Amino acid sequence: MPSPYRAVFASPGTLGFSAAGFVGRMPLSMMGIGIMTMISELTGRYGLAGTLTATLALSAAVLGPQVSRLVDRHGQRRVLRPATLLALAAVTGLLVCAESGAPDWTLFAFAAAAGCVPSVGAMTRARWAAIYQGRPRELHTAYSVESVVDEVCFIFGPIVSIGLSTMWFPAAGPVLACAFLLVGVWWLTAQRATEPVPHPADRHSGGSALRSPGLQVLVVAFVATGAIFGAVDVVTVAFAEELGSKSSASWVLAVYALGSCLAGAVFGLLHLKGEPSRRWVVGVCAMAVSMIPLQLAGSLPFLAVALFLAGLAIAPTMVTTMALVEAHVPRSKLTEGMSWTGTGLAVGIALGSSGAGWFVDAHGAAAAYAVPGLSGAFAVVVAFLGYRRLRRPVPTQEVQRERNSGRSEGRTEHVA
């Protein structure tokens, strides 16, 4: 393992919670596609399958930050375990109703309730932030580790979920995703030594982390970024089907994730100087430009190469985003702030998937790559318009109180 990665894992407990986070994050890439595959296998209704998946994503976008907000106030163990049990109960209800042919409204009711699933990635990143507070180099490498873990999940998760649901039984993919979530969350929350200290709410709490102007820019940009991801997934499947090789779509998309995974691993070795906000704008522009070759795709090999190159811009941008969230959100709301970026992605994925599906039906798969292209252009516009907000974080009253408190404690210790 290269020395920067060995160094960040030298701190006690880091390897344990990172491994638990990997297990608990597998459902992120397995659940939605698993439910879609299950419904299409049981009913043959792709419209219902897609709408259910979008319902689940939007529910997670609404409920996920609220769960994280409770975590910031009460701690990971006290909140994550009950939230996980509720999410698993809802998914179980969805699976049972689907297998028994229950009315469609029951499926949507359980899909909406399943949105309380915890954002395990935000939980592990919050632990890294607590351990390496005030040490940007180590935190940069740690966030790169998390980005690589995300991409590894997205490389293997869909392949496993689709494979199990098509070759074993329809609900096999979602069932395994539930098992991963249960094991990962219990393993993570059992590690109390690295759990961030909760910050109970008080009259000075200042409301949601989303009140930060900088975080607002990041979330809106991530809506556009999510639209890129959602559109690329849908259009790639349709493109492969038009070429008579639909099964190849999963491997082509895995190459997309592989490019991001490799870029994240290399990015973590670098100690870049300068403003993170500037690097973030460059990353967003790189993602947008990488959509141009997709407009020229005429074969699956060309598409795979183009997507691999496009993937190289993803992880560095994500890593820089987490650093900006930490700079613009009070530490007492850090988990919530990180979850809001996930919310932006989830909303964008739902919008991109539905928009791309409509475009495929109307104009064909090759032309539909215009959807991620336009989404990338919108992300660039947001990045440039919001750059000034990101360049110099303005401390909130809570941050200022935390700093004043720290200075007061320092003076007290000095006097003592």
pLDDT band at residue 175 using 50, 70 and 90 as cut-offs: very high
More confident residue, 320 or 50: 320
Query: Do 1-195 and 208-403 show the same overall fold?
Result: yes
pLDDT band at residue 181 using 50, 70 and 90 as cut-offs: very high
The answer to whether residues 162 and 226 touch, using CB atoms and an 8 Å cutoff, is no
Parse the chain into domains and list their residue ranges.
1-195, 208-403
**For residue 406, is pLDDT > 70?**
no
Which pLDDT belongs to residue 345?
A: 80
More confident residue, 285 or 164: 285
CA distance 355 to 378: 15
> In the numeric block, which tokens belong to residue 334?
């850090």
CA distance 110 to 104: 10
Which pLDDT belongs to residue 207?
A: 66
CA distance 264 to 311: 10
pLDDT above 90 coverage of the chain, percent? 22
Residue 143 neighbours by CB under 8 Å, 6+ apart = 125, 128, 268, 319, 322, 323
pLDDT band at residue 395 using 50, 70 and 90 as cut-offs: low
CA distance 303 to 310: 10
Q: Which residue is it, tokens 């996920």? A: 64
The structure's pTM equals: 0.74
DSSP 169: -
**Mean pLDDT within 269-273:** 73
**Mean pLDDT within 341-349:** 79
Nearest Cα residue to 291 out of 200, 376, 403: 376
CA distance 54 to 323: 29
**Mean pLDDT within 379-397:** 76
> In the numeric block, which tokens belong to residue 336?
């919530």
Which pLDDT belongs to residue 149?
A: 83
Q: What is the CATH number of domain 208-403?
A: 1.20.1250.20
SS3 helix, strand, coil % of the chain, rounded to 5?
80, 0, 20
Which pLDDT belongs to residue 393?
A: 58
> In the numeric block, which tokens belong to residue 398?
């809570």
Condensed to tens digits (0 to 9), the pLDDT of residues 292-344 reads 999 988 888 999 999 999 989 888 888 888 888 877 877 777 777 777 887 78
Which pLDDT belongs to residue 47?
A: 67
CA distance 240 to 236: 6
Which of 180-184, 212-216, 268-272 is predicted least confidently?
268-272
* Helical ranges in 312-393 per DSSP H: 314-328, 334-363, 365-368, 370-391
3-class state of residue 9 by DSSP: coil
Which pLDDT belongs to residue 284?
A: 92
CA distance 342 to 321: 11
pLDDT band at residue 46 using 50, 70 and 90 as cut-offs: low
**For residue 404, is pLDDT > 70?**
no
**Mean pLDDT within 249-274:** 80
Which pLDDT belongs to residue 176?
A: 92
The answer to whether residues 389 and 213 touch, using CB atoms and an 8 Å cutoff, is yes
CB atoms within 10 A of CB 248: 18
> What CATH number does domain 1-195 carry, 1.10.287.990, 1.20.1250.20, 1.10.10.10, 1.20.140.10?
1.20.1250.20
Q: Is 347 exposed, middle or buried (0-12, 13-18, 19+ CB in 10 A)?
A: buried
**Mean pLDDT within 88-115:** 90
* Cα angle, residue 150 at apex, residues 216 and 66 outer, rounded to 5°: 45
Condensed to tens digits (0 to 9), the pLDDT of residues 19-44 reads 999 999 888 778 877 887 788 778 77
- In order, the DSSP letters of 278-323 are HHHHHHHHHHHHTTTGGGG--SHHHHHHHHHHHHTTHHHHHHHHHH
**For residue 391, is pLDDT > 80?**
no
**For residue 400, is pLDDT > 60?**
no
CA distance 351 to 332: 31
CA distance 264 to 220: 23
**For residue 15, is pLDDT > 70?**
yes
Which pLDDT belongs to residue 242?
A: 83
More confident residue, 211 or 20: 20
Q: Which residue is it, tokens 């850090």? A: 334
**For residue 405, is pLDDT > 50?**
no
**Continuous segment of H or E residues that includes residue 116:** none
Which pLDDT belongs to residue 206?
A: 56
| Angle between helix 213-242 and helix 249-267 axes, rounded to 10 deg | 140
What's the length of the chain? 416
CA distance 99 to 243: 32
**For residue 173, is pLDDT > 80?**
yes
* Mean pLDDT over the full length of the chain: 81
- In order, the DSSP letters of 181-203 are HHHHHHHHHT--TTSPPP----T
More confident residue, 384 or 156: 384
